[in-house]
Chain A
């Protein structure tokens, strides 16, 4: 009906990704609920259309099409894995839809139809490694890049390798290893890490292990006695939600790099957590970075709609640029014209209670690079969707002639 605004929620509620994605669906529903309680948007009620793409990548594309063409949603909040995003991307571009993507990812992309509210590599991976190289981080000299074999870890590791080499780390001090999705028997890998770490140089593990594989990975780390003081593991895909599924007693001191931790103290975050607990009716449920990214995305979109006075994609998109949101991280997140955010970077250490202690953070928000300065093929690439560039992947502005 005309008195409602429909928004799509495209997160897997079944299959392997349900573990992570259901929470994001709930976050969107919480935000919608909140918005409606405050009177809705443009005087209309907001209605969430939830579908289940069931961790099936082609189904993501199909459901995206259905949401836009059949349900005529104004915007879609969705996707977790990069492959699901890649799968829906052509659909959003063809049908001129709008997707808010809330998960840290590999970068190398900037679509006019997507707003990326998760971290790009320069907002997570690089700062984390820099921290470990610092005196405070233990002056790490040797690196194990352990990842799940897919595009996000591959890209991140490629960027990290380039970065480490630029910092003078010799090739023999970098070990890269990939395991498949859902990998569960980590005995050999962890023993290998131990061996690699016993060469006399301070060693750290940079983990881009994703999803289900993390629990057995950490259990094995703990049991084989890899201690944070000797060989810290810094992860980019392990947040509070993942820790909630692991016994952290023996993992204290291992690290994660995000743009938000639940343990951050500020009033926005307190309110966010309170709202979440009230909505989900369970005080034990944690918050995490992708939830915060969803929160930021949702807030920005509502602000942009209000500003534009319409949900029309063209208008909303224009209104998005420069949009600011006071984020639970305690910083103000800003949407840039490359469709990515400026956000702070934080390094947290795992505590016995399943939370992270922030041991380091940036002074100010960092602007996300859609294209990595460390990669040769990205030389000169610019993502800027405003005049004169109007392009996510160009080395020259589209409208240079007008200048």
Chain B
């Protein structure tokens, strides 16, 4: 039985590529392939998947997708069913609705199968009406170059109208032809690949360049192509390092910005700053859960948009409460604020631990912050990082506006510089203090929203960032927002440029030592106040 099935498949495999554009298979053939998916061994399944991929049958796409998503099931009598998102079942071949007697077993897949499913899907979608699908298929083909695939690519190329897709197809075709026994074709293919910076292509060319048995002309061409690619990649890598540095910098910036208010402007050594960030992250979690529980899935992506003001309000309110309840009794006694805020931080951590439990909470990236886009050379710019960079600058910009352009900002600064005199000038110091601390805390809360998108949401979240935050604010120069920005970005970029050479740990050590040395030259930080006013 098994042997027989395999035999059929083999025949199909040989014949089908020639018929790729055929509208589809007879139901019986399709049914046979589909039955293979429910086979016992992985080898059987793979043969069936490859068969489906080669079938060109539009129905195969849905079946394979369902298989990959774990939505394909089999009944006791080996009928293969597709489960819809609403939990209904339908026969995979006929599409007829089925109500299975017992719960059908999900057909399991593993990575090896997933690889084949992707390959098969890419073949099938090479002719999809959606250019996006076709582009994906072409890229997939580039990453799995095989001479067998060339005829299909040729066909697709002939029919292709979209320039981008056509270019991708050409590249994929060239990649497949590199190993062509025909020396001329191979050489032409290598030349064509010179323009690519794809790491897969690079690897392919590397193989040719290192292959002693290969045609010397091909080797030479491959070598020169490689040199070109490497030059381009070096540049790209520089840019990527810069991006990563800015990205790390923006994380530091966000972590530090609230502290730049509570510590930088108000002078409160706020050891509970990290916990404000944590509160923001937990607020994000709660908002997310609320969205999941009460709103349709289509709105889920907006949960983050709601989280930002929510986190600002929650952390800000806690900040105001702390200021009114504790901090305000401690102005002019920075040491005591250190002690009290440390106590606050312990309590907040344990409180969150008691309410939400000690383990991490899951906070999902909304789809618009998931994944990334590849730039040259296989490097990926991830959306969440990009959004966070933008967010960091936006928050800083808004804060600068508040502090520089509003009366509240003026009053905040006046109050911290001379509380008594500010009161005499008619500034309601109590309210300004509460608002300032609330603002700093609220900003920390917003940072928590951003940080929940790249790291842990746990009761310890704050302790991770507190040291770095102080480092950034002080390094930049206490009281200077520009300094905070420069400090954060500087440290981020330097760190990321060191990391490739020194590794993560040594890199960080170097950065710390650099800070120590740097402070010797600028004892009051990067953007220090100079002159008499600094001493006052």
Contact = CB atoms under 8 A, between A and B. Distances in A.
Q: Is B a genuine binding partner of A?
A: yes
Interface of A: 13-16, 18-23, 135-138, 149, 177-180, 182-185, 187-189, 191-192, 194-195, 198-200, 212, 215-216, 219-220, 222-225, 228-230, 232, 241-242, 244-247, 249-250, 253, 255, 349, 351-352, 354, 357, 359
B384 A223 contact: yes
Interface residues of B, number: 64
Given A15-B460, A229-B111, A241-B359, A188 B504 contact: yes
Given A138-B111, A138-B115, A246-B362, A198 B503 contact: no
B372 A22 contact: no
B18 to A, nearest CB: 28
A16 B207 contact: no
B244 interface: yes
Given A19-B358, A182-B464, A185-B248, A198 B378 contact: yes
A195 B359 contact: no
Nearest to B115: A229
Contact of A225 (B110, B380, B460): B380
Given A15-B460, A224-B382, 16 more contacts: A14-B350, A19-B459, A20-B359, A180-B508, A183-B504, A188-B499, A194-B379, A198-B202, A200-B200, A212-B460, A223-B365, A223-B372, A229-B111, A241-B359, A244-B360, A247-B365
Contact of A194 (B251, B358, B361, B380): B380
Interface in B432-459: 453-459
A136 B202 CA distance: 28
B228 interface: no
A247 B384 CA distance: 14
Nearest to A254: B111
Nearest to B456: A215
Contacts, number: 168
B206 A199 contact: yes
Contacts of B457: 245
Q: Which 6 pairs from chain A and chain B are nearest by CB? A: A245-B360, A198-B199, A200-B203, A247-B364, A223-B382, A22-B358
Contacts of B455: 184, 215-216, 219
Interface of B: 42, 70, 108, 110-112, 114-115, 118, 143, 199-200, 202-204, 206-207, 240-241, 244, 247-248, 251, 349-350, 353, 357-365, 370-372, 374, 378-380, 382-385, 453-460, 463-464, 495-496, 499-500, 503-505, 508
A189 to B, nearest CB: 7
A251 B198 CA distance: 24
A89 B523 CA distance: 46
15 contacts: A19-B359, A19-B456, A19-B458, A149-B505, A184-B464, A189-B504, A192-B500, A195-B199, A200-B200, A225-B372, A242-B360, A250-B370, A250-B371, A354-B362, A359-B110
Contacts of B500: 188, 192
A223 B370 contact: yes
B385 A187 contact: yes
